[in-house]
Amino acid sequence: MTRPGLPRLLAETRSGVLLFSITPPKRSTAEERIKEIAEVTLHRLSGLDLDGLILYDIDDESDRNPVERPFPFLATLDPARYYETHLSAWPQPVIIYRCVGKYAEDELSDWMRDADPERVLGVFVGPSSGGKSVRTGLRRAQELRAAVRPELPLGAVVIGERRDEHLRMLAKQDRGASFFISQVIYHVNETKNLISDYYYECRAREVQPRTIIFTLSLCGSLKTLEFLRWLGVDVPRWLENALRHSADPLTESYKHCLDIARDLRDYCEHLGVPYGFNVENVSIRKTEIEATTRLAADVAALLGR
Amino acid sequence: MTRPGLPRLLAETRSGVLLFSITPPKRSTAEERIKEIAEVTLHRLSGLDLDGLILYDIDDESDRNPVERPFPFLATLDPARYYETHLSAWPQPVIIYRCVGKYAEDELSDWMRDADPERVLGVFVGPSSGGKSVRTGLRRAQELRAAVRPELPLGAVVIGERRDEHLRMLAKQDRGASFFISQVIYHVNETKNLISDYYYECRAREVQPRTIIFTLSLCGSLKTLEFLRWLGVDVPRWLENALRHSADPLTESYKHCLDIARDLRDYCEHLGVPYGFNVENVSIRKTEIEATTRLAADVAALLGR
């Protein structure tokens, strides 16, 4: 029996979804090099049993945090264009992120109309701060989808560090979101608080909880740690200590990511909240990229695949 | 090969120590009833593979918290007298808690001089708030022990919720403490922060970390939860949600206590910090007492016994 495609897995809130996420190459990259990167990426992912691929849409978030960004911001290729032009050999569905504030309403509507809902899913991301001037707001983007392309499966981001995030999730659900993808998780306790609040609020409202996909990301260096912090990821002190003192922070964080995955899997199974994982790589170092691929395989094994 | 006694296990910082703790009966209890309670307790514990028994010394801590105490304070028998009079059949060492502020210096010195350091260990507890008037302060009690009975193994309490607790632990170590017993733990993350801070500080000072014994306690009702909160125990929101909504909070908290034990065991093994567990019962309900005995057996199994 073949496993159903990602849209159906999410529509039926089946647990155990496994995704991998990538950031498209920088815009300044030469065409030949982009082709090469895409090929290497597809080759690396071909050995993994994934339900889909996430393509991020990177926004300049310098407004989010007055502190200098640890890694400089560089504009990246449009994720939908990168997918169409260079990843057409990818056999599974893709989830295209959209930082909606970057786009005019027409651009968003056109893209949604053209997307094949069997192969493409969307995730709308709102502006990183309230003061930012946007071309399309999150609420408006959700309305556009409802009007022009309700068939397109829509996801939303979830940030465990925010208070009352479970109420925000339910509001997004009311406006069409049918699954959630978390920010990078390093703090299992905060995440369990969120899952718990969400679960009991769904129960009180007699609403079916939607799949939450937890993002795991290795942290192979203090620079990466600093970057995660800058993004607002809450890293527990004991883990920071470990990464700071370890001769091999990559191995340390590998162990921790697997522990997180096991813990969240068990917790969601116990409560009965549909869940999945997204394995992400934020580094460009070869050792970290390879370790991330191994991590995805280990998480697949945790999910019984 | 027989297992070494508790004083040696702690002196050699061997991991996997297992203790059980009890609160002596109330002072108002009839002599016959006290005897009965002691017999039932010893019978219940006889099936467990324990390294020792903790006897608490209860102080009126109403100064700790202006909110009304969920369970009323009732004076209990002196732990050393209860041990000598009613628990002499107990074959293992005992750890006698001393809320030092309750005692005159002479009383403490006399007790220490009489105690057999092969069978009795002490834990000094300071006053529950700074404003409390005390007969002997914690620092002074530590000095007395150094002067009159340095052979008596001395432990200290550790409260993961306090900031810089690892520095306090090292200061207590300098004043003679050779092991630590935690307050009830419901928040693994805070506890890992503390273990981590302690471990790296020991490493920086080139000091051997001493055994930390983690106290586990079931929470079978919202009333017990309220009491734990009153005592200053930090209960994660997701666990509070679970206990609040569960038809069977005892089973829910049982699962969680075992998860905590497994998690802390793995974490301490990973870092190389000597550890142990103390299983405590704060309730008088029969189902909870029985479940606590089962929990101790399950924790023993986790420790490979």
- What are the tens digits of pLDDT across the range B210-234? 999 999 999 888 888 888 888 888 8
Question: Which chain A positions have a beta carbon within 8 Å of B242's beta carbon?
Answer: 196
If residue B212 lies in a helix (H) or strand (E), which one and from where to where?
strand B211-217
> A238, B192: Cβ pair inside 8 Å?
yes
In this prediction, residues B184-204 reach a mean pLDDT of 95
* Between residues B26 and B281, the one the model is more confident about: B26
Report pLDDT for B286.
87
Report pLDDT for B83.
96
State which amino acid sits at residue B110. Answer: D
Residue B151 has pLDDT above 80, yes or no: yes
Question: pLDDT band at A62, cuts 50/70/90?
Answer: low
Report pLDDT for B61.
65
Q: pLDDT tens-digit profile of B26-81?
A: 999 999 999 999 999 999 999 999 999 999 998 876 655 666 766 666 789 999 99
If residue B99 lies in a helix (H) or strand (E), which one and from where to where?
strand B94-99
Residue of B nearest to A194 (CA): B238
Please identify which residue in the block is written with the tokens 């870092």.
B271
List, as one string, the DSSP characters of B140-168: HHHHHHHHH-TTS-EEEEE-TTSTTHHHH
Lowest mean pLDDT among A6-15, A168-177, A295-304, B283-292: B283-292
Report pLDDT for B44.
94
Residues A20 and A298: their CA atoms lie apart, in Å, by 13
Residue (of A108, A91, A104, A115) closest to A6 by Cα position: A91
Task: Name the residue facing B196 among A203, A237, A270 (closest C-beta).
Answer: A237
Report pLDDT for B64.
57
> Considering chain B, what percentage of its residues have pLDDT values greater than 70?
94
Residue B164 has pLDDT above 90, yes or no: yes
Q: pLDDT tens-digit profile of B97-134?
A: 999 999 999 999 999 999 999 999 999 999 877 777 88
Judge contact between B16 and B276, C-beta under 8 A: yes
Please identify which residue in the block is written with the tokens 């849409």.
A57
Shortest Cα distance from B299 to chain A (angstroms)? 19
Q: pLDDT tens-digit profile of B132-148?
A: 788 999 999 999 999 99
User: Residue B260: helix, strand or coil by DSSP?
Assistant: helix
Query: Residue A184: CA atoms inside 13 Å, Cβ hemisphere, count?
Result: 23
Mutation target for B interface from A161, A186, A188, A189: give the one with most B CBs within 10 A: A189
**Those residues with Cβ within 8 angstroms of residue A156's Cβ, 6 or more apart along the chain or in another chain:** A123, A124, A169, A172, A177, A179, A180, A181
Lowest mean pLDDT among A150-154, A162-166, A219-223, B296-300: A219-223
Question: pLDDT band at A71, cuts 50/70/90?
Answer: low
Q: pLDDT tens-digit profile of A226-250?
A: 888 888 888 899 989 998 998 899 9
> B238, A195: Cβ pair inside 8 Å?
yes
Residue B192 has pLDDT above 70, yes or no: yes
> A238, B189: Cβ pair inside 8 Å?
yes
Mutation target for A interface from B189, B240, B262, B267: give the one with most A CBs within 10 A: B189
E strands present in chain A: 17-22, 52-55, 94-99, 120-125, 154-158, 179-184, 211-217, 275-280
